[in-house]
């Protein structure tokens, strides 16, 4: 599903040049659950952003479902993204002005789903995440774990083939964290590809494969048994 | 999608209550102000447009070129009418002559002398042909109703006022100025108020021909009265310039034989300039200069621009806080145009709310504006034009205020946006915001300076040394028919019996007025001088009654005819003479009359409004022209004295309406336009300051939020409250100073040219400018102060934790 080769990302400011990704090459097959680990600043988030088509690489090739997307313009990337990829962030990133229901509904609005279908779909997902009873609450009225469940709900509502999660449990205590990990595992079992950045060895154990990074390169891959 | 935009827009308005309130307040006040300006300007521009032949109607006016200056007159000598008809047979001409302050007596069963009405303006002697030039609607009758002498046509409201209903009025007889009987022979539908020809009592022109002497209507080429006008309707294919060229030759032929000391030329004045050309007197209630309308429109535009500036300022400032939301939307697949649409929708919602509020404000203010702009007619808020205006303001403001913030927001890179690292976007925003604040303060300071100058000039005028006494002088207008004149001596005797009356003077004119009687003259047996003098005919008590001061010689002796003259200092100076006593005993010839001796010189007094220089004046006796009675009264027991004067008047002149005027009120009327303008400046300056303070307050509140952490850290490190206040105020003070230097030349230029309208004016002192900057700094500090103090006093621990 994902095939990147010699991908480079370099941040230039006036004084310094930071090589965030240094000719990195990775493959991810459909249905895989991959964890990315590494010390702070090694380029994990940068990689995830590029995989999520939020950012473009400076060099190298990126095949998404066998299509070269490394030089897509913003419009094409947004189009591909909204139909195929869901995101979960460490800091939840819910819109404070919208209710739980409306937050989850948002991706469906952007992909142009009709209002009746949207309602059905959102309710289904909220039910699955066991957050239905909070549908009319605003994000600030929820606990961290609940907020992250809403974020996961929002990530999957479009039935994306790929979910990218950047430290999804970083802001959660262990029981809430485990709950989210279980959700992700369930989704993976139903066929969704998952790529997750994490600092926690415990969380990484939920995955099939761990990619360890250092200074913008992969240094090690552990296949889980 | 749109519904979703609306929903989020509404939520974000509610969430950012303070900002929304500031925006809506600013925008709605700005829009209400410009809407009202629009209504007034639109009304002024609509004058006479209801005439179907608007573009083909002209007035044949007169230019008089002297050695030194040129004068203009809306009138034309009476014989020109016949000559023009002969010379230009293809043009339709129509003449009319206005009479001011005439009296109409309506017979009444109850009152022996009838009901008396003074027609201040609106009484015209009219040729039937005038209705081929101007079009009016008739309720009954036709232009032919004015064919014969002693006929009158009334408009509906006057007929109703006189007789109760217009049907009742038809066929009745009224008396004009107690001498001329007139039969009501037709009724005109009321002429719209936005007309420079406010016809209400229309007397047939033939009546004037038969009574010419009483109305100074003479068939001579050497009198030009602004009351007698000739209107012309050009055929569709004839150009004004061609006729003007022909009129040049016409004038040469007609005026050459007169051998006057000036060159007279007739030319066409288009109807479209009747309301705006101050060179010509208007029959309507006022003339508005186009530059005043332009100033007003500009101010209206500025006010709304300032409100938009607030909006942009606050929205860009807020957008930093919104970056997270924008980032999320982008990650979830929202593309640029959708985000753009969303921010624009939010702007549009705020603009729509503001429009609603502004309509409310405008509706409440309309009666006051009507009063300030002295508009007679009922103004309505909801005409096609205002609706179009409101909709276009709405669209323009949405675009102006929304485009930039939408652009900025939709451009955000989602990753940086999520990190809330708006460094790059922030810096650009700051310089833009500074620019906008400078613009706002420039506008406010220009308006503060304009207001201060206008108020001082108006003060100066009301306190100016006029050279006569305007307080406590009552002026009664009468007629100078022989019966009235014969009663004058007895009338005066009786008035002087009233304890409150100090002195009484009969004359043709107050010392200061707009109706000047001017003529050519010769001095000391020389040929005619190259300039004209103004004439005043007064009795010997004039000097005492109006408090004039004699600086040489004596007052002319009482006489029924012209015998001795008194002149003013300006005339002495204009004759090139240094010592006033030198002219005493010398002679002056007025017009083609004989030589009369000068017996006195009077200290200069203002002969008209302070816009104009003092004119050279000759004061002499001539009972025939004593229409006015000036009465100097003591200010104690004013009411009793006035009642006694009225009783005396009614006893002597029962057939004349009693309509007293206070001299100082007449003088105040000279400056009505200036007073209105200075009031408008005050209002708009207040609004401008308010709107810029709103914006400043918003920005500072935002800054306070942004700087919470910085302030917290600084406090922990030991910063004093004063130094923190400086942190907030330094930037704004600098911006105000920068805008001051932009405002100074603009305001200087603007007010310098305004003051040039006055012959007597205050200097543009540096204090006006100092007031403006000191005022703005103080107001800004007050605005900023509260927020800044709160931020500076806040508990630093709390501030740091909240980050
Ligand atoms: N916008 C940027 N401009 C300049 N340098 C950047 C930018 N974003 C990231 N970097 C640099 O690129 C490198 C990789 O950053 P990245 O955020 O991918 O690290 P990370 O592995 O996700 O770290 P963490 O575990 O702390 O989240 C870092 O050295 C970072 O300083
Ligand atoms: Mg990271």
The tens digit of pLDDT for each residue in B644-675 reads: 999 999 999 888 888 898 998 888 888 887 78
Confidence of residue B803 (pLDDT cuts 50, 70, 90): very low
User: Does the structure show a pLDDT above 90 at B529?
Assistant: no
> How far apart (Å, rounded) are the C-alpha atoms in residues A95 and A102?
9
Q: What separation in angstroms does the CA of B247 have from each of B97, B221, B255?
A: 22, 16, 12
pLDDT reported for residue B477: 83
User: Which positions ≥6 away from B216 have C-beta within 8 Å?
Assistant: B223, B225
CATH fold of A28-55+72-221: Rossmann fold (3.40.50)
Looking at per-residue pLDDT, the higher value among B421 and B594 belongs to B594
Residue pair B141/B153 in contact by the 8 Å Cβ criterion: yes
pLDDT digits (tens, 9 = 90+) for B391-400: 988 898 888 8
Which among B327, B334, B413 has the least Cβ separation from residue A110?
B334
A74-91 per-position pLDDT tens digit: 778 878 888 899 989 888
Residue B206 has pLDDT above 50, yes or no: yes
Question: Contact at 8 Å (CB) between B51 and B134?
Answer: yes
- CA angle, B319 then B324 then B329, to 5°: 105
Chain B residues lying within 8 Å of A83, measured CB to CB: 333
Average pLDDT over residues A131-150: 89
Give per-residue pLDDT as tens, B442-499.
888 888 898 889 889 888 888 888 888 888 899 998 776 777 788 888 999 999 999 9
Is the confidence at residue B734, as pLDDT, over 90? no
**Is B418 at the interface with chain A, CB within 8 A?**
yes
pLDDT at B795: 61
Using DSSP bridges, classify how beta strands B123-126 and B92-99 pair: parallel, antiparallel or unpaired.
Answer: antiparallel
Indicate whether this model's pTM tops 0.80. no
Q: What percent of chain B has pLDDT over 90?
A: 36
**Would you state the pLDDT for residue B802?**
40
Q: Which of A69-83, B116-130, B368-382, B699-713 has the lowest mean pLDDT?
A: B699-713
Half-sphere exposure of A18 (CA within 13 A, CB side): 10
Segment B46-74, tens digit of pLDDT:
899 999 999 999 999 999 888 777 888 89
Q: Is residue B424 very low, low, confident or very high in pLDDT (cuts 50, 70, 90)?
A: very low
Residue of A nearest to B7 (CA): A98
For residue B11, pLDDT over 60 is answered with yes
Reported as a pLDDT band with limits 50, 70 and 90, residue B426 is very low
| DSSP label of B153 | E
Q: How much of chain B exceeds pLDDT 70, in percent?
A: 94
A97, A98, A107, A157: best to mutate for the B interface, most B CBs within 10 A: A97
Q: In B463-532, where do the E strands start and end?
A: 473-477, 501-507, 517-519, 521-523
pLDDT range class, residue B339, cuts 50, 70, 90: confident
pLDDT digits (tens, 9 = 90+) for B345-366: 888 898 999 999 999 998 888 8
* Alpha-carbon gap: A201 to the closest alpha carbon of chain B (Å): 25
Query: From the CB of residue B428, how many other CB atoms can be counted at a distance below 10 Å?
Result: 11
Helix, strand, coil shares, percent, chain A, to 5: 35, 30, 35
Full DSSP string of B80-142: HHHHHHHH-TTSEEEEEEEESSEEEEE--SS-TT-EEEEESS-EEEE-TTHHHHS---EEE--
Q: Which helix (H) or strand (E) holds B545?
A: helix B542-546
* H-run or E-run covering B186: strand B180-188
pLDDT of residue A165: 93
Question: B630 and chain A: CB distance < 8 Å anywhere?
Answer: no
Spatial separation of the C-alpha atoms in residues B277 and B74, rounded to whole Å: 10
| Residues across chain A | 225
Every domain of chain B and the residues it spans: 1-47+289-428, 54-273, 448-462+673-803, 479-655
Q: Is B141 on the interface with A (CB under 8 A)?
A: no
Give the pLDDT score at B315: 77
Measured distance CA(B125)–CA(B207) in Å, rounded: 8
What pLDDT, on the 0 to 100 scale, is given for residue A109? 82
pLDDT, average across residues B287-294 = 82
Residues B194-202, mean pLDDT to the nearest whole number: 92
Interface predicted TM-score of the whole assembly (ipTM), two decimals = 0.74
Q: Which residue has the tokens 């012309």?
A: B232
Residues 330-349 of B with CB under 8 A from A: 330-336, 338
Q: Are B422 and B323 in contact (CB under 8 A)?
A: yes
Nearest Cα to Cα of residue B794 among B714, B694, B698: B714
**What does the mean pLDDT of chain B come to?**
85
Read off φ and ψ for residue B98, nearest 5 degrees.
Answer: -95, 150
pLDDT top residue among A217 and B93: B93
Q: Higher pLDDT residue, B283 or B239?
A: B239
What burial letters (b/e) apply to B766-796, b meaning 16+ CB within 10 Å? eebbebbbebbbebbbebbeebbeebbebeb
Number of other residues whose CB lies within 10 A of the CB of residue B329: 24
**Phi, then psi, of B470 in degrees rounded to 5:** -100, -15
Rounded CA-CA distance B700/B704 in Å is 6
| Dihedral class, residue A210 (left if φ above 0, else alpha if ψ from -120 to 50, else beta) | beta
Residue B103's DSSP bridge partners are: B118
- pLDDT at position A38 is 92
What DSSP character marks residue B148?
S
Mean pLDDT of A137-144: 88
Question: Which amino acid residue places its CA nearest to atom 7 of ligand 1?
Answer: A11
- Residues 6+ away with beta carbon under 8 Å from B644: B498, B500
- pLDDT reported for residue B758: 85
CA torsion through residues B421, B423, B424, B426, sign: positive
Q: Residue A96 pLDDT more than 80?
A: no
Q: Name the most confidently modeled range: B622-631, B719-728, B729-738.
A: B622-631
In the predicted structure, residue B710 carries a pLDDT above the cut 70 = no
Largest CA distance in chain A: 54
Q: Is the pLDDT assigned to residue B613 strictly greater than 60?
A: yes
**pLDDT score recorded for residue B425:** 45
Q: Is the pLDDT of residue B696 over 80?
A: no
Mean pLDDT of A182-194: 92
CB atoms within 10 A of CB B507: 24
Among B1, B12, B335, the residue with its CB nearest the CB of A97 is B12
Instruction: Please indicate whether residue B476 or residue B518 has the higher confidence score (pLDDT).
Output: B476
Query: How confident is the prediction for chain A on average, in pLDDT?
Result: 89
If contacts are CB pairs under 8 Å, which of residues 51-80 in chain A contact chain B? 52, 54-55, 74-75, 78-79
Q: Rounded to whole angstroms, how far apart are CA atoms B515 and B502?
A: 26
Whether the pLDDT of residue B801 is over 50: the answer is no
pLDDT over 60 (residue A16): yes
Please report, for residues A151, B311, B412, B467, B585, the alpha-carbon distance to residue B416 in angstroms, rounded to integers and kept in the order given: 20, 25, 8, 76, 97
pLDDT of residue B419: 65
> Cβ neighbours of residue B365 under 8 Å, at least 6 residues apart?
B32, B36
Q: Which 3 state secondary structure label does DSSP give A142?
A: coil
B742-762 residue pLDDT tens: 999 999 998 898 888 888 889
The closest alpha carbon to B564, from B508, B522, B622, belongs to B622
CA B713–ligand 2 middle distance (angstroms): 27
Distances (CA, A) of B770 to B110, B442, B448, B765: 66, 14, 11, 9
> Containing H/E element for A105?
helix A100-110
Measured by CA distance, the residue closest to atom 17 of ligand 1 is A45
Quick check: A52 and B331 CB within 8 A?
yes
**pLDDT at residue number B798:** 55
Q: Say if residue B205 is exposed, middle or buried (CB neighbours under 10 Å; 0-12, 13-18, 19+).
A: buried
Ligand 1 pocket by C-beta < 6 Å: which residues? A 11, 13, 18, 20, 38, 40-46
Read off the tokens for B466: 């006029």
pLDDT tens per residue, range A26-63: 999 999 999 999 999 999 999 998 998 888 899 999 99
Using N-to-C axis directions, what is the helix angle for A174-189 and A144-156, rounded to 10°?
10
In the 3-class helix/strand/coil scheme, how is A175-221 assigned residue by residue? HHHHHHHHHHHHHHHCCCEEEEECCCHHHHCCCCEEEEEECCEEEEE
Which whole number is the average pLDDT over B761-770? Answer: 91
CA distance A43 to A162: 20
B578, B523 contact by CB (below 8 A): no
Residue B584 has pLDDT above 90, yes or no: yes
Give the pLDDT score at B104. 92
Instruction: Calculate how far, in angstroms, residue A41's C-alpha sits from the geometric centre of ligand 1.
Output: 5
C-alpha to C-alpha distance for A92 and A144, rounded to whole angstroms:
8
Determine whether the interchain pair A54/B415 forms a contact, defined as Cβ–Cβ distance below 8 Å.
yes
Spatial contact of B392 and B38, defined as CB atoms under 8 Å apart = no
pLDDT over 60 at B144, yes or no: yes
| pLDDT for residue A55 | 83
What does the pLDDT read at residue B221?
Answer: 87
pLDDT value of residue B9: 81
Q: Where are the domains of chain A?
A: 28-55+72-221
Give dist(CA B723, CA B711) in Å, integer: 10
Is the pLDDT at A4 greater than 90? The verdict is yes
């Amino acid at each position: 599903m994902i095939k990147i080769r010699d991908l480079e990302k370099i941040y230039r400011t006036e004084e310094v040049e930071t090589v965030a990704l240094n000719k990195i090459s990775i493959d991810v097959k459909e249905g895989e659950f991959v964890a990315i680990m590494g010390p702070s600043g090694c380029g994990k988030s940068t990689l995830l952003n590029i995989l999520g088509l939020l950012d473009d690489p400076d060099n190298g090739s990126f095949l998404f479902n066998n299509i070269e997307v490394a030089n897509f313009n913003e419009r094409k990337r947004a189009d591909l993204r909204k139909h195929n990829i869901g995101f979960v962030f460490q800091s939840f990133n819910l819109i404070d002005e919208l209710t739980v229901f409306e937050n989850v509904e948002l991706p469906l609005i952007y992909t142009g789903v009709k209002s009746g279908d949207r309602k059905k779909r959102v309710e289904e997902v909220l039910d699955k995440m066991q957050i239905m009873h909070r549908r009319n609450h605003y994000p600030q009225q929820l606990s961290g774990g609940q907020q992250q469940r809403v974020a996961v709900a929002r990530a999957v509502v479009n039935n994306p083939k790929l979910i990218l999660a950047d430290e999804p449990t970083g802001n959660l205590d262990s029981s809430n964290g485990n709950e989210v990990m279980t959700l992700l595992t369930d989704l993976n079992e139903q066929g969704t590809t998952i790529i997750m950045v994490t600092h926690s060895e415990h969380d990484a154990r939920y995955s099939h494969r761990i990619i360890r990074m250092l200074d913008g390169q992969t240094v090690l891959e552990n296949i889980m048994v | 999608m749109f519904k979703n935009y609306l929903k989020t827009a509404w939520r974000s308005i509610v969430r950012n209550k303070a900002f929304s309130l500031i925006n809506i307040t600013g925008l709605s006040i700005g829009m209400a102000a410009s809407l009202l300006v629009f209504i007034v300007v639109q009304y002024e521009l609509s004058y006479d447009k209801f005439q179907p032949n608007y573009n083909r109607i002209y007035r044949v006016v007169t230019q008089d070129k002297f050695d030194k200056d040129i004068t203009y007159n809306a009138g034309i000598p009476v014989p020109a009418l016949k000559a023009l008809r002969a010379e230009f047979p293809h043009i339709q001409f129509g003449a009319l002559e206005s009479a001011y302050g005439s009296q109409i007596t309506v017979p009444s069963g109850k009152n022996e002398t009838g009901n008396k009405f003074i027609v201040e303006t609106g009484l015209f002697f009219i040729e039937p042909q005038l209705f081929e030039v101007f079009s009016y609607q008739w309720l009954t009758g036709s232009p032919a109703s004015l064919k014969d002498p002693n006929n009158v046509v009334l408009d509906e409201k006057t007929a109703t006022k006189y007789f109760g209903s217009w049907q009742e009025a038809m066929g009745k007889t009224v008396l004009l100025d107690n001498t001329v009987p007139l039969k009501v022979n037709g009724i005109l539908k009321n002429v719209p108020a936005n007309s420079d020809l406010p016809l209400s009592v229309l007397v047939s022109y033939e009546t004037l021909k038969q009574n010419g002497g009483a109305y100074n209507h003479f068939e001579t080429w050497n009198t030009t009265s602004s009351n007698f006008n000739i209107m012309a309707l050009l055929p569709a294919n004839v150009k004004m310039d061609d006729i003007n060229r022909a009129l040049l030759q016409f004038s040469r032929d007609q005026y050459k034989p007169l051998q006057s000391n000036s060159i007279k030329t007739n030319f066409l004045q288009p109807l479209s300039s009747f309301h705006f050309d101050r060179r010509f007197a208007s029959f309507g209630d006022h003339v508005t200069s186009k530059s005043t309308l332009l100033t007003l429109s500009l101010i209206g535009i500025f006010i709304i621009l300032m409100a938009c500036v607030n909006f942009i300022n606050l929205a860009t400032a807020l957008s930093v806080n919104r970056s997270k939301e924008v980032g999320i939307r982008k990650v979830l697949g929202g593309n640029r145009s959708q985000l753009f649409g969303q921010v624009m929708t939010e702007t549009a919602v705020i603009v729509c709310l503001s429009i609603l509020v502004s309509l409310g404000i405008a509706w409440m203010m309309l009666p006051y504006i009507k009063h300030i702009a002295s508009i007679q007619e009922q103004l309505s808020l909801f005409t096609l034009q205002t609706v179009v205006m409101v909709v276009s303001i709405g669209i323009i403001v949405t675009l102006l205020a929304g485009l930039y913030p939408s652009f900025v927001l939709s451009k955000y890179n989602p990753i940086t946006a999520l990190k809330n690292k708006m460094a790059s976007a922030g810096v650009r925003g700051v310089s833009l915001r500074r620019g906008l604040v400078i613009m706002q303060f420039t506008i406010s300071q220009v308006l503060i300076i304009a207001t201060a100058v206008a108020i001082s000039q108006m003060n100066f005028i009301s306190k100016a040394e006029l050279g006569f006494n305007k307080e406590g002088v009552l002026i009664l207008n009468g007629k100078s028919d022989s019966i009235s004149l014969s009663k004058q001596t007895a009338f005066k005797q009786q008035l002087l019996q009233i304890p409150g009356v100090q002195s009484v003077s009969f004359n043709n004119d107050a010392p200061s007025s707009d109706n000047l009687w001017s003529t050519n003259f010769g001095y000391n047996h020389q040929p005619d001088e190259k300039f004209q003098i103004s004439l005043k005919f007064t009795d010997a008590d004039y000097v005492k009654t109006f408090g004039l001061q004699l600086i040489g010689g004596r007052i002319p002796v009482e006489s029924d005819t012209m015998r001795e003259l008194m002149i003013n200092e300006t005339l002495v100076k204009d004759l090139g003479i240094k010592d006033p006593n030198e002219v005493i005993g010398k002679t002056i010839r007025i017009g083609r009359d004989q030589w009369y001796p000068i017996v006195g010189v009077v200290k200069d007094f203002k002969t008209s409004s302070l816009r104009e220089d003092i004119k050279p004046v000759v004061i002499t006796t001539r009972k025939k022209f004593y229409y006015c009675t000036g009465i100097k009264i003591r200010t104690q027991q004013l009411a009793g004295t006035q009642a006694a004067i009225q009783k005396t008047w009614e006893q002597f002149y029962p057939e004349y309406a009693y309509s007293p005027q206070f001299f100082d009120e007449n003088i105040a009327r000279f400056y009505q336009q200036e007073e209105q303008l200075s009031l408008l400046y005050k209002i708009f300056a207040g609004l401008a300051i308010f709107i810029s303070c709103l914006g400043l307050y918003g920005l500072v509140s935002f800054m306070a939020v942004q700087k919470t952490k910085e302030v917290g850290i600084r406090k922990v490190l030991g910063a004093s409250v004063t130094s923190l206040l400086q942190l907030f105020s330094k930037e704004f003070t600098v911006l105000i100073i920068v805008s001051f230097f932009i405002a100074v030349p603009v305001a200087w230029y603007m007010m310098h040219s305004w003051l040039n309208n006055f012959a007597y004016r205050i200097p543009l002192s540096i204090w006006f400018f100092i007031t403006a900057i000191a005022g703005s700094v103080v107001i800004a500090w007050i605005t900023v102060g509260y927020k800044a103090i709160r931020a500076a006093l806040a508990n630093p621990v709390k501030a740091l934790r909240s980050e």
